[in-house]
Amino acid sequence: MSSNRIGIDALAFSGPDAYLALADLARARGVDPDKYTIGLGQHSMAIASPCEDPVTMAVQAGQSALKKFGIDPDEIGTLIVGTETGIDHSKPVAVYVHELLGLSQNCRTFETKHACYGAMAGLTSSMDWIASGRARGRKALVIASDIASYGLNTPGEPTQGAGAVAMVVSADPRLLAFDARRIGDYTRQVMDFWRPLYSKYAFADGHYSIECYLDALAGAHQDAFAEADGPDSDTELVACLYHIPFVRMAFKAHQRYLEIIQGGPIDRDHPSQLQALKEDYQRRVLPWLSLNAEIGNIYTGSLFLSLIDLLRQQSSDLAGQSISLFSYGSGCGATYCLARIQPTACDWVDAMDPSAALDQRRKLSMDEYEQLIEDCSSADQQPHLDPSDYGHRSGLFYVGTQDHQRQYRQQEKA
Ligand code: CAA
C-alpha cells in the first residue's frame, strides 16, 4: 500500500447551540470592540451549556461524519479522541464516544492529550496504523473535541470557543491525501499555556505562547524538509492552514512561514514588503478562516475547522493541489505537513458544510453568557440537568452525574 495515499476520507463539525458576539463582550469589558474583531480577528465564540461537553460534541460530529459519508460503524478499527478538556482523570472521553457511536468492540480506542495538538497526534498515529498493515482494510475515526475556557475577565476570555471535528482516516481517502515524507514534528517543554488538575480554567502566558507557537512552526517545518531530495516542495501551495487560537494568529504564522521560505525577515515598516505579505495572506490563508472567526478557539479541532472551510468553498478548483497544515499544542508539540486535495473532495461539499447548524445558533446576552459559565463550573457534580433549561431541543446531552457516573441522554424534538 502506498503510504502517500492515506488521509482524510470524511469530515464533520458539531458545536454548541449558543454563541456570544465579541463586540458585546468587548463593550462589557470596557475594551474597544476593534481590538477583538480586528486585533484578534474574531466575530463571535461558541459557548457550551452545562449539558454540552466533549463527549456530546464528539459523538454528534462522529455521527455526522459516518452518516453523511456513508460509512458503516463496523468499518472503524481505531477511535482516537484528541482533547484538552478531559472529563475524568482516568476514563477517556473516547470510550463514552465508542459506546454512543455503536462502534465494534474489536476497535482500539483511546484519548490523546497535548493541549491543542491531541488530534494531530491522533491523525498521524492513525495514518501509521493504516500504513503498518494492522488496520486490515478498516478505517480510523479521529475526533477533536474541546471547550476552551479561560475564565471571566482574563486576557484569554475573547479567545474561547467550543466544538468538535470528526475525521475518518482511510487508505483511499475522498478528501485529502497526506505526503508521508513531508510530515515534520517538533517538541519543547515550555510553560506557555497549561491547566493544573485543580483548575477548570487554563493559565496562559499569552504573548510568550505566541512566540512559542512561531518557534514551533519553524522547528516543525525544518523537520518536514530534513530530507532534501524528498517529493514536493512547499513553494506551490494553494492554501496554508494553521492552528487558529484566534484568526489574527494566522497572519503572524504566515509571516513566519514566508520568512522561512524566503530565508530572511519581512520588514512590516517597508510598504512593499508589507503589501506582499498581506496579499499572500489574503490569497492563501484568510479565505479559509470564516468558520474559526464565528466559532472561536476549539483547541484540537481549530486547524481542521479551517480545513472544512477550505474544502467546502473551493474543492473543485483546488482538486489535485497541495496544501500545508500546521498543528500547534502548547507545552509544546507541533507538526507541519503537506497534503493533496483529492479530485473527489468537491462531491462532498454539502456533507461537510456546517452553515445550516450555525445559522440556527442562539445569540447570548452578556448576562446569559456569564450565567452559563457559572453553571458550567459546577456541572460535573450536578445530579440532574435538564437540557430544556438551556434552550436545547434535540440532540445528545449530558444530564448530570449519579453515583459518580456521568449520564447522557438522547433527546428527540418534542
Ligand atoms: N483596534 C485594532 N487592533 C487592536 C486594538 C484596537 N483598538 N487594540 C489592540 N489591537 C491589536 C493589538 O495591536 C494586537 O495586535 P498585534 O498582535 O498584531 O500587534 C492585538 O489587537 C491583541 O492585542 P494585545 O496583544 O494587546 O492583547 P492582549 O494583551 O489582551 O492579549 C492574547 C492577546 C495574548 C492573544 C490573549 O488573548 C491570550 O492570552 N490568549 C490566550 C493564549 C493564546 O491564544 N495564545 C496563542 C498561541 S498558543 C496556542 O495557539 C495554543 C492555544 O490554542 C491556546
Q: Walk me through the domains of the chain, giving residue ranges and CATH numbers.
A: 7-411 (3.40.47.10)
Beta partners for residue 183, in sequence order: 337
Scored b (16 or more CB within 10 A) or e, 62-95 reads: bbbbbebbebebebbbbbbbbbbbbbeeeebbbb
* Residue 233 binned pLDDT confidence (cut-offs 50, 70, 90): low
Residue 199 phi, psi (nearest 5): -120, 135
Per-residue model confidence as pLDDT tens digits over 311-354:
998 767 789 999 999 999 999 999 999 999 999 999 999 999 99
Closest CA to 96 of 85, 111, 76: 111
Q: How far apart are CA 62 and CA 75, in angstroms?
A: 13
243 is catalytic: yes
| DSSP assignments along 32-69, one per residue | -HHIIIIIS---EEEE--TT--HHHHHHHHHHHHHHHT
Confidence of residue 413 (pLDDT cuts 50, 70, 90): confident
Query: To the nearest whole percent, how much of the chain has pLDDT over 90?
Result: 92
Mean pLDDT value across the chain: 95
- Interatomic CA distance for residues 273 and 266, integer angstroms: 6
Q: Which three cell numbers, joined as nine digits, stand for 178?
A: 497526506
Whether 201 is in the pocket of ligand 1, judged by its Cβ within 6 Å, is: no
Cβ(153) to ligand 1 under 6 A? no
Q: Is the pLDDT of residue 2 over 60?
A: no
Quote the ligand 1 centre to 287 CA distance (angstroms): 21
User: For the whole model, what pTM was predicted?
Assistant: 0.97
Ligand 1 probe mutation, 83, 157, 159, 335, most atoms within 8 A of CB: 159
CA-nearest residue for atom 31, ligand 1, is 155
- pLDDT category at 230 given cuts 50, 70, 90 is low
Residue with cell 472529563: 87
**Residue 347: alpha-carbon gap to chain centroid:** 23
Give residue 5 CA to ligand 1 midpoint distance, Å.
Answer: 38
Tens of pLDDT, residues 121-157: 999 999 999 999 999 999 999 999 999 999 999 999 9
What tens digit of pLDDT does each residue of 75-128 get? 999 999 999 999 999 999 999 999 999 999 999 999 999 999 999 999 999 999
